[in-house]
Amino acid sequence: MAVGLKSPSALPEIAGITVGVGAAGIRKRDRNDLAVLLCEPGTQAAGCFTRNRFQAAPVTVAREHLAARAAPRALVINSGNANAGTGDAGVADAKAVCRAVAEARGAEVEEVLPFSTGVIGQRLPCDNIIGALPGMIENASPDGWTEAAKAIMTTDTVPKGAWRRIEVNDVPVTITGIAKGSGMIRPDMATMLVFLATDARIPAMKLREYLGHAVNRTFNCITVDGDTSTNDACILLASGKRAGIDGSDQDRFQHALDDLCRELAQSVVRDGEGATKFVEVAVCGAASDEEARKIAMTVAHSPLVKTALFASDANWGRIFAAIGRAPVETLDVSRVHLAINGCSIVRGGSIDPDYNEQRGTAAMRREEIVIAIDLGVARGTCSVWTTDLSHEYVRINAEYRT
């Protein structure tokens, strides 16, 4: 059950982009498992991809196509099959799907970007996918974003989408985004697919700057289980149908994009496999932001911390032990302060004289938890978002292929 997360309401259209969905029977029958985003000529794109060296075939192909043409005419996304661990055959399958979309769109193969998510190590059912594409492309509409968010789900329990709007010279500029992700989640693009689009006019180089800034502060600050996927991708499209972004509008656009990505990133965590708690690990007082990140991630990845969170057990020693083993050079235990949901537990490296177990347990019982760690050294900060680790997580992943 997703923690404090509901299905998105209707997502606004992006001028110049239409969306289609369809059922290709990739893994489950009678459900949409395929989506296309169709872009009018002139649409610019930027992307961030997994850092897992064992990257899936669609990641390889999408990277190549994006490098060759930063102005795609279509994105094609399937769920149920990752097309990973499939070697040269997998690359050929991804390109075959791109070719089918390109022919239907009157475009070049390099103008189509493929994306896949699902089971690793199985060939992509190309015939099924290619057979479903013509109807999807013909029936694509500007208001198909919510249905696309459903079509790309795997173990997700809730479709994920959000939007933001700003005014640029009295012209409304919109950003709409959808995401999928629930398990195999950690930084370096987490294990997810994210598709963002704006009707603003932005050159590809600047688009890459906006996206990189947003990803580093949002999608690279989440973790559910510490695993980085083979298929992670985040794409930002700019159709150019509305106002151009320059001058003082650049900061406002970046803020809106960051805010949207933060909401989508947190929605992935809230829907973490088997999650019963949404947890923020907020570190301040570090020697640098990078050291703060290392501390935060060590705590967030600790299975002992995560199981204590699931049990609502105020076993703060597990958090303290994780802080102590983080790979940082400037940690001074005598300066560390630790609080959970405002309940002070450790002050100056030892237990707070005012702390008692009842208050700690009450703080841990909440669905939303903030673990605040002040290292007392300098001004470095970092917040990451994670979940507890439940029995249900084990069940979902034990039964994933059955």
Q: Return the active site residues.
A: 191
Sign of CA dihedral 287, 289, 290, 294: positive
Quickly count: other Cβ atoms within 10 Å of residue 234's Cβ: 28
User: Which of 264, 280, 269, 260 shows the shortest CA–CA distance to 223?
Assistant: 269
User: What whole-number distance in Å separates Cα of residue 46 and Cα of residue 207?
Assistant: 6
In angstroms, rounded to a whole number, what is the distance separating the alpha carbons of residues 69 and 78?
22
CA 92, distance to chain mean position in Å, is 27
For tokens 């060590």, the residue is: 298
Residues facing 194 on adjacent strands: 179, 234
Residue 310, phi then psi, degrees to nearest 5: -60, -40
The residue written with tokens 């940690």 in the block is 331
DSSP SS3 for 369: strand
For residue 253, give the H/E element and its range.
helix 249-270
Using CA atoms, how far residue 270 sits from 5, 83, 130, 157, 169, in Å, is 6, 27, 34, 10, 36
328 burial level (CB within 10 Å; 0-12, 13-18, 19+): buried
Q: What is the 3-state secondary structure (H, E, C) of 6-41?
A: CCCCCCCCCCCEEEEEECCCCCCCCCCCEEEEEECC
- Across the strands, what pairs with 282? 372, 383
- Residues 188 and 51 sit within 8 Å (Cβ to Cβ): yes
